[in-house]
Structure 1
Amino acid sequence: MSKVVLITGASSGIGKSIAEFLVDKGYVVYGTSRNPKKPLVNGVNFVALDVTKTETIEKAVAEIITKENKIDYLINNAGMGITGPIEETPDEEIKRVFETNYFGVIKVIKAVLPVMRKNNGGFIINITSIAGYMGLPYRGIYSATKGALELTTEAFRMEVKGFNIKMTNIAPGDFATNIAAGRYHSPIIENSPYEKKYRNTLELMDKHVDKGKDPIIMAEKVYAVMQEKNPTIHYKVGEFIQKFSIALKHILPDKVYEKMLMKHYKL
């Protein structure tokens, strides 16, 4: 029988690439979107799901179980970006991105675990970010959401091992997706003490995304990890310098690393 995969946020970007790749590999793929009425990705069965609304999660999972009687893989890809000086970022936007990038992921995992436990197995892959390994200026809230998910996965995977359920993180760097257009930007406020540095950093971040690699690379990595019988805890996918920056954080003194980041962002 074909393996059943549930991918959140599968209508665009990395999620879409993963969905298309797995369909080509013969998986039965269910993708989620808040508005799946229009055709989205060939070969993918779309269900309506908003990770911030528990009732839509439970309904979508129940629909898949009714049709397939199982979910073999869950790929938590849905997420949103956010930028801005933390002081000037509205509290409601901070809460909204945590609801999407962190609490939403936990809700989906909780909804899927009972059927995986019943079937004595499953594999959960959380798509995080290399930004989650360090506090990046003007992306501090985004870094916090992804860093929290990385650490939570470390604990969660130990709790579910006894049920033959595997869990891991895959952290991408910059990829050519529409995340820059879809993220929340705190407005650049005229005469703000952050105005010039925030504007320059925002332009630099957008250039990184525009020059990012093809998301098919992430799809290939996800597929490769899915084949592993004993996956490790953390995987990183991106430019060498992005992955190397994580290693440097563990090697360099904190202030030296901070100075390196500030130089990179011209702060």
Structure 2
Amino acid sequence: MSTDQKQQPVAIVTGATAGIGAATACALHAAGYRVFGTYRKPPATGIPGIDYVACDVTNDLTVEAAVREVLAKAGRIDLLVNNAGVGLIGAAEESSLEQARSLFDVNLFGVIRMTNAVLPAMRQQRSGRIVNISSVMGLIPSPFMALYSSSKHAVEGYSQALDHEVRVCGIRVVLVEPSYTRTTFESNALAADQNIEHYALARANAEAVMRKEAAKADLPEVVAGTVVTAAIAAKPQLRYTAGRDATTVSLLRRFVPTSAFDKSLRKRMQMPA
């Protein structure tokens, strides 16, 4: 390993083959990081300059193997971006417990697995940053994405508590909160595994709203730029909203009375008053 490589900060980005993950890997590389992007399925064409590592965040063994590989090649880990995630559209009652567990295994426990795997190296080097990709849906109710929203609420609570625990080691944990982003995330989201006719019309309305919002949403590069800001900040904030819509929603949630916010949300989702 050359002297330049030893001095270059090292980042791991999970789910780096498409969407926000690919854009983030590219942006961090441009910002001077040596980037290791993880994948479950090898990318057809990789991003020049990115090292790819096989990793399924739901599997303890592959997570541990991926982190060992990065440490063997780079000698350190300065940044972990927990981006890998999956969506789920449907009423809360329409998903089985098995489906709920599967979702949380990626969106929450995947974050925990990756974090636990990198923390020993970060503690040893007395520095590091963990950026967890959350969502504005981790701040607000999300009808017909209740389980996805719940997983992001859990990531928010986990991240805030962990940040307090590891600051003494020179490690910070921060959240990046996008709103809808122009990727294939919504179109690739899982459908509830036990549809109930009672919810059919409201679910269809919600799906139409999501498609409309996604079509005009920010590009993934907007989120990637926010991740870089969060990664390099000398005094990081706990939360970074990514994009204009996410910032607006966050401000409304903080300052608008609950009853007014509730009414606005139902109107936006085309739900009866």
Instruction: Identify the match of residue 220 of structure 2 among 215, 218, 236.
Output: 215
Q: Deviations over 1:235-265 (max 9, x none)?
A: 111234x422333233334333222211111
| 3-state secondary structure, aligned to 2:48 | coil
User: Counterpart of 1:252 in structure 2: which amino acid?
Assistant: V
Report the TM-score, using the length of structure 1 for normalisation: 0.94
Distance, in Å, in 2 between the alignment partners of 1:103 and 1:187 is 21
Distance, in Å, in 1 between the alignment partners of 2:153 and 2:19 is 21
Equivalent residues of 2:96, 2:194 under 8 A apart:
no
Equivalent residues of 1:188, 1:199 under 8 A apart:
no
Equivalent residues of 1:4, 1:68 under 8 A apart:
yes
User: Counterpart of 2:243 in structure 1: which amino acid?
Assistant: G
Q: CA deviation at 1:117?
A: 0.8
Question: Which residue is 1:168 aligned to?
Answer: 174
Question: Which residue is 2:258 aligned to?
Answer: 254
| 3-state secondary structure, aligned to 1:151 | helix
Pairwise CA RMSD: 1.6
Gaps of 5+ in 2: 1-6
Deviates more, 1:250-259 or 1:41-50: 250-259
Change (3 A) 1:150 1:200: same
Q: CA deviation at 1:202?
A: 0.6
For residues 218-233 of structure 1, the aligned pairs below 5 Å read 218-233=223-238
Q: Deviations over 1:137-184 (max 9, x none)?
A: 101111111111111111000000111111100101111111012210
Greater than 4 Å deviation, 4+ residue runs: none
Equivalent residues of 2:40, 2:56 under 8 A apart:
yes
Q: CA deviation at 1:39?
A: 3.3
Distance, in Å, in 2 between the alignment partners of 1:57 and 1:79 is 15
Distance, in Å, in 1 between the alignment partners of 2:265 and 2:192 is 21
Q: Does 1:202 align with 2:207?
A: yes
Question: Which residue is 1:264 aligned to?
Answer: 268
User: Counterpart of 1:94 in structure 2: which amino acid?
Assistant: A
Change (3 A) 1:257 1:77: same
Q: Does 1:156 align with 2:151?
A: no
Q: Deviations over 1:197-218 (max 9, x none)?
A: 1111111112211221111111
For residues 1-267 of structure 1, the aligned pairs below 5 Å read 1-36=7-42, 38-186=44-192, 189=195, 192-240=197-245, 242-267=246-271
User: Counterpart of 2:49 in structure 1: which amino acid?
Assistant: G
Gaps of 5+ in 1: none
Equivalent residues of 1:102, 1:146 under 8 A apart:
yes
Distance, in Å, in 2 between the alignment partners of 1:162 and 1:98 is 29
Count of residues paired in the alignment: 265
Q: CA deviation at 1:232?
A: 1.0
Distance, in Å, in 2 between the alignment partners of 1:253 and 1:26 is 43
Distance, in Å, in 1 between the alignment partners of 2:43 and 2:179 is 31
Report the TM-score, using the length of structure 2 for normalisation: 0.92
Q: Deviations over 1:87-130 (max 9, x none)?
A: 11122211111110101101100000000111111111101001
How high is the sequence identity, in percent, across the aligned residues?
Answer: 32
Deviates more, 1:86-95 or 1:249-258: 249-258
Distance, in Å, in 2 between the alignment partners of 1:42 and 1:73 is 20
